[in-house]
Structures are given as structure tokens and as C-alpha cells.
Amino acid sequence: MNEELEKRIKKVNAKKFGEDLVSWFEQEMRELPWRENRDPYRVWVSEIMLQQTRVDTVIPYYNRFMEQFPSVEALAFAPEEDVLKAWEGLGYYSRARNLQSAVREVHESYQGIVPDNLKEISSLKGVGPYTAGAILSIAYGKPEPAVDGNVMRVMSRILSIDDDIAKPASRKKFETAVRAIIYEENPSYFNQALMELGAIVCTPTSPSCFLCPVQEHCAAFAEGTQHELPVKSKKKAAKTVELLTVIAENNKGKVLISRRPEQGLLANMWEFPSFEKTPGVNAGQQMIEYLQADHEVEATLTDEKWMTQDHIFTHLVWKMQVGRVTVTKEPALTEQIKWVDQTEIEKVAMPVSHRKIANRWKESTEKETEK
């Protein structure tokens, strides 16, 4: 092990650090739905939803999800479309598919019991180093590190570690550190407390050191460098893509939607037909030609720029120009396309940008009906 790291770890009184941290957690921990009990399935679902997602955002999704899929079996036997719909708006949709895939694996290979050891639980889809440690410690009380962004931030300050936490290699260093000082009497509370501290007290830009329960153990506080840590390199700027999106209506008031590929961005989500714009070419003409070529739809242009919609991803920006056309000849239906009315469109899973467009479409058709 890194000698410098070992030296810093030895400076910490691990026993008292754990006691101070866990005592604080017992007093200050938030009441959250996934803390009602230690059901491994409930813990598991919460950890997947919480990946890269804020607690306040997750809570309503979690409550609905547990009501709809209360057990391993309920989720294992559910239609994949229902799971994706329950995930709509939460983002990172492969989490939903991987979770259901893994739950089916638990049902078939582990008699419906979530594995309680590192090797087996890590083999499940969507369960990486963090989630494996989180479930093992929180649900089963095992002394495994669960190193997320909070833990790296907190421990970078406690031990004054200036490794770039954006680099994959640094996570292992923090795992080593946590493993060395983990509170064996209560690994569940210890790990949760590290994260809770990061979320509530030891925050990224303005840590509240004056009310920190482990201030006396903190190297960064002693040095006055808490605002300089952790070191985190910036990610590259997002690219912008110009899209043309088409509201194609037939004479029954239904609109055409298509399903995205089962791999990649927004996998398996439903959307209005969209494609990358060719610069300098008439937009309305591109829409008509695209529908003909990719969906065997014949249509006449109604409005080539009915609205615009931006969709901002972490690594990408879509600038969408939405046009409307009237269909004169309908395509043969496939698994990848279907016609839906205002009621039916609410039941499919769409990304936020297309959901906003769908809502606007609904408003416009309701106005037409009033006339």
C-alpha cells in the first residue's frame, strides 16, 4: 500500500472516529423511505435509484416503485415496459433494465434471496463496487467499503488526499482508506454516516466544519484546506446536435411514435420520429423525406417549425425543431412504431424532451376541439 496513505490513516484514531461519526448519525439521520427496514431488496432498489441522483428526486420515484414492485418476484415478473415507465424522468434508464435483469437472476439462481457476499452480488448487472459495498454493509452488516462521491469528498478532507477523484484509480485508494478505518461494530451506520455527512455537512463548496462531528479528526480542517479539497478535474464540454422532430398525425387524431434502439442513449424509450438535421436543406422537406424513407409514411407538411425544444444531457445537447405533418398514407406497423392518442401516449415511457412536446401536442389538440 501507498506509504504516505498509510501514514495518514494511522494518524486517525479509527475507533473514536467511528464512534463520533456513528453517534452523530444516530441523532441526525434523515427519515427516508429506504431506511424503514433492512430488506435487501429495498436497499438495493434505493441504491440503484440514488446513483448520480439526488435524494429529493428519488423519494417519490422510490415510493411509487416499491408500491408497484414490492418484492424481487413482483419486479422479476413485471413487463419491462412497466419498469421503464416507472423510471420515466429519473434518467440513466439502463439502470432500470439492468435492475430487472439482475432481479430475475436473483429469482432464478439465488431462490429470490439477494446474495450476501461480494463475489455473487458484484456479478449482478448494475451492481458495481459502490453498490455492492452499500448493500452488503447496509442490508447485511458486512464491513465492506461503499465509496461514492460523498465518501471520496469526506475522506479526501479527513486524510488530506489530493488525488483527482474524477479518475477511476482514486476510488481504490479511498476504498483502502475506508477499509482501514471502518467501524466494525456497525458498518451499516458507518457507511451511511459518511455519505450523510457528505450530503449534509461536508458539502462540496461550503462545508459546515463548525458543526462537523469529526472535525477533530480532519486533516484538511487542521490545515485550513477544506475548501481546496477534493481535487476534481473538469469534464469536457457537451456537443450540440441539431435534430428535426415530427408530429405526424393521421385522420383519426392519432400521432406516430417510434421506439429507440435497445442499446445506447435513451434505450427503448418512445419518441416522436427524430433525426439529425442536414444543414442548409429545407427542414420541412427533410421531415417528409425522412418519414417516407424510414417509416414508409406519406405525409403533407402542415408546419415545419411548430415549436422548438432543447434537451440537455451531461455529454450532449439536442436542439430540436419540431414540425407537424398530416399523414396521407400509413405505414405497416412494427414493434418499433405505433399510433397513439392523447390517452395512450401518457402510458408509454418517453424522455423528458419528448414528454414536453407530447404535453404541448395534447394542449393544442384540446384547443382545436373547443373550436
Partner DNA sequence: CACTCGTGGAG
Partner DNA sequence: TCTCCAAGAGT
- Among residues 46, 44, 6, 24, the alpha carbon closest in space to that of 194 is found at 24
Min dist CB 151 to DNA, Å, is 8
Q: Are 9 and 178 in contact (CB under 8 A)?
A: no
Using alpha carbons only, give the angle 290, 294, 295 rounded to the nearest 5 degrees.
105
Q: Which secondary structure element, helix H or strand E, spans residue 108, and what is its range? A: helix 94-109
- Give the count of residues interacting with DNA (CB under 7 A): 59
Which range touches DNA (CB under 7 A), out of 166-174, 180-188, 217-225, 339-347?
A: 166-174
Return the residue of 251, 252, 262, 264 that touches DNA, per CB under 7 A. 264
265 binds DNA (CB under 7 A): yes
> Running DSSP on this structure, what letter comes out for residue 340?
E
3-state secondary structure 108-150: HHCCCCCCCCHHHHHCCCCCCHHHHHHHHHHHHCCCCCCCCHH
Nearer to DNA, 16 or 64 (CB): 64
Beta carbon nearer to DNA, 61 or 82: 61
Of the two residues 254 and 274, which places its CB atom closer to DNA in the complex? Answer: 274
Piece in contact with DNA (CB under 7 A), picked from 126-134, 209-217, 250-258, 301-309: 126-134
C-alpha cell at 355: 414528454
Helix (H) or strand (E) holding 286: helix 283-295
Annotated catalytic, 346? Answer: no
Dihedral of CA 294/295/298/300: which sign? negative
Q: Which is nearer to DNA, 85 or 153 (CB)?
A: 153
Of 174-182, 263-271, 288-296, 331-339: span binding DNA (CB under 7 A) = 263-271
Which residue, 52 or 328, is less far from DNA as judged by CB?
Answer: 52
Instruction: State the amino acid at position 277 in one-letter form.
Output: K
Residue 344 is inside which H or E element, if any? helix 342-345
- For the window 301-320, what string marks contact with DNA as x by the rule CB under 7 A? ----------xxxxxx----
Binding range to DNA, per CB under 7 A, among 68-76, 146-154, 213-221, 338-346: 146-154
The residue annotated as part of the active site, out of 47, 196, 271, 330, is: 47
Q: Which residues pair with 256 in a beta bridge?
A: 339
Site for DNA in 44-63 (CB under 7 A): 46-47, 50-57
- Binding to DNA in span 186-225, by CB under 7 A: 192, 195-196, 198-199, 203-205
232 counts as binding DNA under rule CB under 7 A: yes
Of positions 44, 72, 144, 148, contacts DNA by CB under 7 A: 148
Which amino acid would we find at residue 199?
A
CA atoms 356, 317, 127, 105: torsion sign: positive
Name residue 245's beta-bridge partners: 274, 322
Classify residue 95 as left (phi > 0), alpha (psi -120 to 50) or beta: alpha
| Contact flags string 346-365 toward DNA, x per CB under 7 A | -----xxx------------
Closest CA to 159 of 338, 337, 10: 10
Return residues touching DNA (CB under 7 A): 32, 46-47, 50-57, 89-94, 98, 125-132, 134, 148-150, 153, 167-169, 192, 195-196, 198-199, 203-205, 232, 234-236, 264-267, 311-316, 351-353
Query: What positions carry a catalytic annotation?
Result: 47
